[in-house]
Every structure is written in C-alpha cells, then in structure tokens.
C-alpha cells in the first residue's frame, strides 16, 4: 500500500479527503481537502482551532494541526470520490496530550513495551428512529420481546444490508446482524482487530450507519437510552491480549489454565491480573465508558419491557453469564458489558488498556467469580461496589482514582474532568418538567 495519499487519490479516483479527528466528547470533526492539496496536508497537517471543538483550549491557542494517519484511510463506500482518514493532533511540534487518539496511541506504546498487544471487538448497538428522533422508524416494531425478530429485521433489510455490504467491501469481516432487544434496535458485528484499528473502525462505523440511515430517510442513534422503558444502546467490548500486533499475533497472553476461579474459565495469570485492573478501576472507568448524563438511565436501570436491561449495576465478574459487568465467555478473552453507545471510540479502548496495565503492574486480584443471575439476586451480593448512579458520581470517582488518572495522562484527565464538570453544571441548571410536576404545589 502506497504511503502517499496523493498517489492513493490518483489510484482510486478520490476527489476529496475528510481529515478527521475525535474530540473529548466523542464528536467527529473533519475538513474536506481536495485531492490536489492532500500532499501538503499529509506533510504539514490540516489546521483547526481547538477551542471551537470539545477540547480544553482557548481562542488564543495556536493552530492545532491534524496529521492524517495514512494507515487509517477509508474510501467512502457510499460516496467513492471521498476518502476518510483519521488524524493525530499536533500543536507546535508536540502531540496534543489531551486528544483521544493520542491518549490511545500512548497506551498502546506502553503495552508494547512489555510485549503486549491488545485486540478488541466492539458491539456498537444503535436504533433506527424517525428523522426527528422522536419515534421508532418502524411502526410495526412493537413486540414486547423483539430480540432477533425475523420480520422486524427484514423490514430494515435495505439499511442493514447496505451497511453490511460496505463492511464486506472494506474487508472488515462482518459476520452477523440482528434485531436487538429494544424495538427499533440493531446490532452488526465485524471481526476483532488491533485496538487502534478497532477504534478507527468504530468511529467510521458510527459515521457510516448515520450516513446510510439518513439516505434511507431514518435517523440512527447510538444514544445510551434513547427510549424510556426499552433496552439501551450498549457497546460491549471483547478484550484479548497477544504477543504481537496484526497478523503476527500467535499467542494469546490471556489464554491459559492459570490458578483458581479465573483459571477455571480459561484466563492465564496475566489475564487474571488485567481483569483485576478492570475490576479495581471500574467505578472510575465509568466516567469514560458511560460518559453522558443519559448513560445512567441505561446502567442501574429498572427492568425494561423486554424483561432485562442487559446492562450491569454492580462491579462483578462471571463466566458465561450476561448479567454481570464482565463476562468471560470462553478461554483467553473477556467481555466488558459496561460501555454504552456514547463512549468515545478512542478513550474507550484507552481506559481498558490503562486499567488493565495497572492491574498487571499491581498483580490485581479480580475477586471472586459470581455465578448468580445478577438481575434476580443482585441484592444479595455483598462486598462489590455499586456502579455510580449519575455522571457527577462517575466524574468524582475518576478524579479520586489517581493511578487511572495518571495512566490516562495528567493533561488528558484534567481537560476531560474540566469539560465534563461544565457539562454537568449545564445539565443541573436546566429546568425540567419533572421539577414542576413534583414541586409546584409543595
């Protein structure tokens, strides 16, 4: 593959490049650059004003340069004259430390220094709504238990087939699509990959799903809980750690007999300690994995119409059982069921590595495996922390977790906490109907 984006444009008939980066709130920002200007942009970067996005900068900051990462380029399958390319943010010759893709790249480097290469797959659930976002797009999709509904998935065949075809063309290895547990909700799965590739694909997937849905007259949303009473949008992550990146990976460092309960489910000693890090830092990680006010309507939620939220409420792990925060479905990997559709694709992967590496360093113990149905018997669990009840509690938990904060980077953590606290203050100063209903006649 040529390293030169101008040559890539000539080979593929690309007219425009979208030089794209993701800000602290997960927003994807881009500039459209004509192919004839891409050579200069590849060398010198595309200039952005950081303050105009969700990054902790002022209008007085110098230009932030988005340097395209050639390895991430994707020709838009639905508009082949345009190519999307993820960029790394640089200011005055230095990586912007608070930028999510840079946070992830730094942690990938730290893992590589000790010979570990994290691979993940994400399950980015979404709803198809009417264009105003107010109703489920398919008015016939009303079943109380709509998961795997054969008729309902076929009524949206034109949308999901188009997305799946594009993933096939891109070589992502998509392998299944279904109607999920909420009315109007879908999930499409593709192969797991090196963590940076997964984060780029996750970003692009959101862009692609929204674009295809719009073209069909619908609105796709990854919002954690878009419809009261229905199952929310999770973004479960399957995690394994290998001896080498890409195709060179041969040995799964997490697979092994190990000792004790983690060994019984096929996690090696390093898999156990990595999981121990996830468990230890879970309450703080939530600020990243469940980053919006709305996220807390999905976790800790009351039972949905379908019978289960499929989201955790407590920091527990188990074998092949979907009612816990972490499930170990088979040897050599685990599934983190905490994250939701609002999670920033880069920070999500970064915080998993940060917590896991700290677990390895500290030889963290994940605690006992619990084999109960958490939705029915969760109230009986003693000694496991409850997940934060709202965004403010999560931000405070993150702020208290000094080792996770420093593993994610001091500059990133300070910027993230500052902007998210501002967002929280904005939320609590918003007057709601609930307040009037409950307070008007007091």
Handedness of CA 76, 211, 46, 67 (dihedral sign): negative
Task: Report 187-246 residues binding Mg ion (CB under 5 A).
Answer: 187
Handedness of CA 424, 341, 150, 170 (dihedral sign): positive
CB of 432 to Mg ion, least distance (A): 30
Residue 335 within binding range of Mg ion, rule CB under 5 A: no
Compare residues 185 and 261 and give the one whose CB is closer to Mg ion. Answer: 185
CB of 222 to Mg ion, least distance (A): 13
Compare residues 148 and 157 and give the one whose CB is closer to Mg ion. Answer: 148
Q: Which residues contact 422 (CB under 8 A, 6 or more apart)?
A: none
Binding mask 253-282 for Mg ion (x = CB under 5 A): ------------------------------
Compare residues 23 and 125 and give the one whose CB is closer to Mg ion. Answer: 125
CB of 310 to Mg ion, least distance (A): 7
Structure tokens at 297: 């309507």
Task: Report 169-198 residues binding Mg ion (CB under 5 A).
Answer: 187
Compare residues 284 and 374 and give the one whose CB is closer to Mg ion. Answer: 374
Binding mask 134-173 for Mg ion (x = CB under 5 A): ----------------------------------------
CB of 234 to Mg ion, least distance (A): 6
CB of 181 to Mg ion, least distance (A): 7
Residue spans of alpha helices (H) in 180-236: 195-215
Compare residues 238 and 369 and give the one whose CB is closer to Mg ion. Answer: 238
Count of residues engaged in binding Mg ion, rule: CB under 5 A: 1
Compare residues 179 and 201 and give the one whose CB is closer to Mg ion. Answer: 179
Task: Report 342-381 residues binding Mg ion (CB under 5 A).
Answer: none
For residue 235, what are the β-bridge partners?
Answer: 124
Phi first, then psi, for residue 60 (nearest 5°) are -85, -10
CB of 279 to Mg ion, least distance (A): 22
Q: Which residues contact 204 (CB under 8 A, 6 or more apart)?
A: 74, 84
Q: Which residues contact 402 (CB under 8 A, 6 or more apart)?
A: none
Beta strands in 92-209 (DSSP E): 94-95, 117-124, 126-129, 174-179, 185-190, 193-194
Q: How many CB atoms lie within 10 A of CB 306?
A: 20
Compare residues 188 and 199 and give the one whose CB is closer to Mg ion. Answer: 188
Compare residues 186 and 416 and give the one whose CB is closer to Mg ion. Answer: 186
CB of 359 to Mg ion, least distance (A): 26
What are the CA-CA distances from residue 136 to residues 124, 215, 306 (Å)? 18, 17, 16
What are the CA-CA distances from residue 44 to residues 20, 90, 97, 100, 127 (Å)? 15, 10, 19, 20, 39
Angle at 196 between CA 121 and CA 388, to 5 degrees: 65
Taking CB atoms, the residue at the shortest distance from Mg ion is 187
CB of 88 to Mg ion, least distance (A): 31
* Site of interaction with Mg ion (CB under 5 A): 187
């Amino acid at each position: 593959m040529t390293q030169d984006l101008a040559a890539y444009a000539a080979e593929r008939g690309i007219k425009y490049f979208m030089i794209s980066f993701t800000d602290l709130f997960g927003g994807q920002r881009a500039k459209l650059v004509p192919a004839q200007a891409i050579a200069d942009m590849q060398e010198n970067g595309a200039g952005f004003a950081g303050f105009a996005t969700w990054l902790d900068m002022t209008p007085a900051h110098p230009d932030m340069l988005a340097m395209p990462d050639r390895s991430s380029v994707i020709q838009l399958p639905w508009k082949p004259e345009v190519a999307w390319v993820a960029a790394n943010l640089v200011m005055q010759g230095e990586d912007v430390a608070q930028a999510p893709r840079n946070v992830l790249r730094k942690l990938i480097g730290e893992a590589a220094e000790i010979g570990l290469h994290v691979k993940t797959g994400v399950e980015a659930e979404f709803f198809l709504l009417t264009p105003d976002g107010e109703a489920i797009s398919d008015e016939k999709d009303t079943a109380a238990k709509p998961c795997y509904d054969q008729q309902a998935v076929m009524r949206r065949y034109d949308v999901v087939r188009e997305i799946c075809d594009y993933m096939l063309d891109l070589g992502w290895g998509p392998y299944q699509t279904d109607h999920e547990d909420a009315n109007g909700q879908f999930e499409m799965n593709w192969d797991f990959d090196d963590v940076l590739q997964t984060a780029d694909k996750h970003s692009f997937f959101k862009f692609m799903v929204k674009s295809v849905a719009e073209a069909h007259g619908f609105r796709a949303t990854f919002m954690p809980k878009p419809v009261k009473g229905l199952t929310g949008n999770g973004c479960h992550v399957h995690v394994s750690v290998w001896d080498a990146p890409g195709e060179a990976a041969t040995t799964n460092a997490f697979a092994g007999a190990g000792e004790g309960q983690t060994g019984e489910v096929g996690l090696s000693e390093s898999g156990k300690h990595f999981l121990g890090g996830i468990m230890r830092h879970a309450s703080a990680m939530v600020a990243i994995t469940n980053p919006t006010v709305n996220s807390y309507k999905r976790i800790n939620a009351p039972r949905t119409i379908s019978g289960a939220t499929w989201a955790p409420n407590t920091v527990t792990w188990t074998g092949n059982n979907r009612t816990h925060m972490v499930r170990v479905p088979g040897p050599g990997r685990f599934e983190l069921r905490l994250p939701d559709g609002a999670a920033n694709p880069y920070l999500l992967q970064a915080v998993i590595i940060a917590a896991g590496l700290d677990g390895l360093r500290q030889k963290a113990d994940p605690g006992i495996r619990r084999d109960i149905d958490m939705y029915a018997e969760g109230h009986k669990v003693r000694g496991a922390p409850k997940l934060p009840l709202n965004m403010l509690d999560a931000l405070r938990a993150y702020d208290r977790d000094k080792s996770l904060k420093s593993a994610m980077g001091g500059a990133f953590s300070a910027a993230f906490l500052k902007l998210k606290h501002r967002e929280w203050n904005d939320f609590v100063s918003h007057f709601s109907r609930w307040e009037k209903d409950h307070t008007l006649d007091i």
